[in-house]
Amino acid sequence: MYEKNWRHLFKLDPAKPLTDEALEKIAESGTDAIVVGGTDGITLENVLDLLARIRRFSVPVILEVSTIESVSLGFDFYFIPTVLNSTNVKWMNGLHHEALKEYGHLMNWDEVLTEGYCIMNLDCKAAKQAEVLKQPTEDDVIAYAQMAEHLFGLPVFYLEYSGTYGEPEIVKEAAYQLQKTRLFYGGGIDTVERAKEMAQYADTIIVGNVVYTDLKEALRTVNAVKETAKIV
């Protein structure tokens, strides 16, 4: 089950190789859950393979759905992105509609959580795929956060800087807008200092790429986040 107080999540990419030893360290790091998700090369086969490998440990496992074909049963939870700053409705509600027409009757709604994404790094793969064409300003982010909280009542607003480290001031401003909606921050968390800085503003910190480049530092982000109090 998704817990509202989750502070730290690792995001693992099914298309990237990871040794059993590394996976064990990640699963037993004290992180609140592992998200399986990525943009390129996601197949049902590599998703199921990673799920089976993580299942040897007790950590909860979430699938962040990126393609309809790679959805499978067996995860504890499903995160469904909707890209608020996409210019193509496919990524806002198009794929969602297509998926529900086919599988809506099978859904267990208690296992599903919608993430209102605001993609901040225009060079990342997700930005290109979702056709995000304009760099959001601080005012844009504030408006998207208000949209998530007040217009759409989304449970999560995800500031996605994937591959780059974000601007703490913008994350702080987004945090000010949100009471019921939780703020997820992801992007460029590759040191303890960065983890602590963003954990002051975001409810949940998502750590991705550093797992593959500096596992030791990645593992240190768990306590760094958990020891940091949120101040907004």
Annotated binding site for sn-glycerol 1-phosphate: 11, 158-163, 188, 208-209
Query: Which structure tokens are listed for 26?
Result: 């990640």
Question: Closest Cα to residue 12, out of 33, 38, 31?
Answer: 38
b/e per residue, 73-102, with b = 16+ CB within 10 A?
eebebbbbbbbbbbeeeebbeebbeebeee
**Binding-site entries for Mg(2+):** 13, 39
DSSP sequence for 73-142: S--SEEEEEEETT-SSGGGTTHHHHHHHHHHGGG--GGGEEEEEEEE--TTSHHHHHTT--S---HHHHH
**Binding-site entries:** 11, 13, 39, 158-163, 188, 208-209
* Smallest distance from ligand 1GP to CB 102, Å: 26
Task: Rank residues 51 and 195 by Cβ distance to ligand 1GP and give the closer one.
Answer: 195
Task: Rank residues 27 and 207 by Cβ distance to ligand 1GP and give the closer one.
Answer: 207
SS3 state at 179? coil
Task: Rank residues 2 and 184 by Cβ distance to ligand 1GP and give the closer one.
Answer: 184
* Smallest distance from ligand 1GP to CB 7, Å: 15
**Residues in contact with ligand 1GP by the rule CB under 6 A:** 11, 160, 162-163, 186-189, 206-210
Task: Rank residues 80 and 150 by Cβ distance to ligand 1GP and give the closer one.
Answer: 80
- What are 8's strand-pairing partners? 205
Task: Rank residues 51 and 119 by Cβ distance to ligand 1GP and give the closer one.
Answer: 119
Q: Which residue is nearest to ligand 1GP (CB)?
A: 186
* Smallest distance from ligand 1GP to CB 155, Å: 17
CA–CA gap between residue 22 and residue 40 (Å, rounded):
22
Question: Closest Cα to residue 194, out of 208, 181, 182, 175?
Answer: 208
* Smallest distance from ligand 1GP to CB 227, Å: 19
* Smallest distance from ligand 1GP to CB 202, Å: 11
